[in-house]
Structure 1
C-alpha cells in the first residue's frame, strides 16, 4: 500500500519520539492504530457493498437478456430460474408498495 522502507520507518519513529516524547508516543501509536483499523473496516465494508451491488446489477442484466430471448428457446431450468427471479423481485417490491390514499377510518369512542 505505502512504499515505506525500513529506514523510513526508523526515521518516523525517531521523529515521533522527539516530538511526542516517551510518555505520549505509546498512546499516540495506539490511537493511530485504532484509527487505521476503523478506516480499514470502513473500506472493506464499502468494498463488500459495491461487490453486492455489482452482483445485483449483473443478475439484473442477465435477466433482461433472458427476457429478450424467445422463452421457447430457453431450457426448462432457465425458465424456472427466470420465474423464481420474477417472483422474488415482486416479493421485494410488495412491502414498499404505495399505501392507499384513503386509509380506513377507525370508529371513535364518542360517536
Structure 2
C-alpha cells in the first residue's frame, strides 16, 4: 500500500522509541493502527456504495432499453388495434345513422298512411 519495506519500518520504530519513549510508544502504535483501520473501513464502505450505485444505474439503463424495445415491438400491434377500433366505430356510426334515417322514413310513411286512412274514412 505505502510501499514501505522492512528497514523503513525499523527506522520508524527506532525514531518513535527515541521521540516518544518506551511508555507512550505502544499507545501511539495502537492509535495509529485504529486510525488506519477506520480509514480502510471508510474507504471500503465508499467503494462498496459506489459499486452498488453503478450497478443500479446499469440496471436502470437496461430497463430503459428493454422498455424501448418492447414499445417498438408493440407499436405495430397497437396501431393495428387502433385502426380496427376506428373502423368499428365508423361502422357503428353508419349503422346508427342508417337506422335513424329508416326510422324517420318509416314514421313519415306511417303518418302518411294514417293520414290517408283518415281521409278515406271521412269520405
| Fold similarity call, TM over 0.5 | yes
Residue 6 (structure 1) aligned with residue 3 (structure 2): no
2:72 & 2:13 partners in 1: Cα distance? Answer: 70
Q: Deviations over 1:18-44 (max 9, x none)?
A: 111100000000011111111111011
Instruction: Report which of the two structures shows the higher radius of gyration computed on alpha carbons.
Output: 2
Root-mean-square deviation (Å): 1.7
Give structure 1 stretches of 5+ with no counterpart: 74-111
Write 1 or 2 for the structure with the bigger share of helix. 2
- What's the TM-score, normalizing by structure 1? 0.62
Aligned residue pairs total: 74
- What's the TM-score, normalizing by structure 2? 0.56
Q: What's 2:51 paired with? A: 51
Q: Deviations over 1:43-101 (max 9, x none)?
A: 1111111111001000001011111213585xxxxxxxxxxxxxxxxxxxxxxxxxxxx
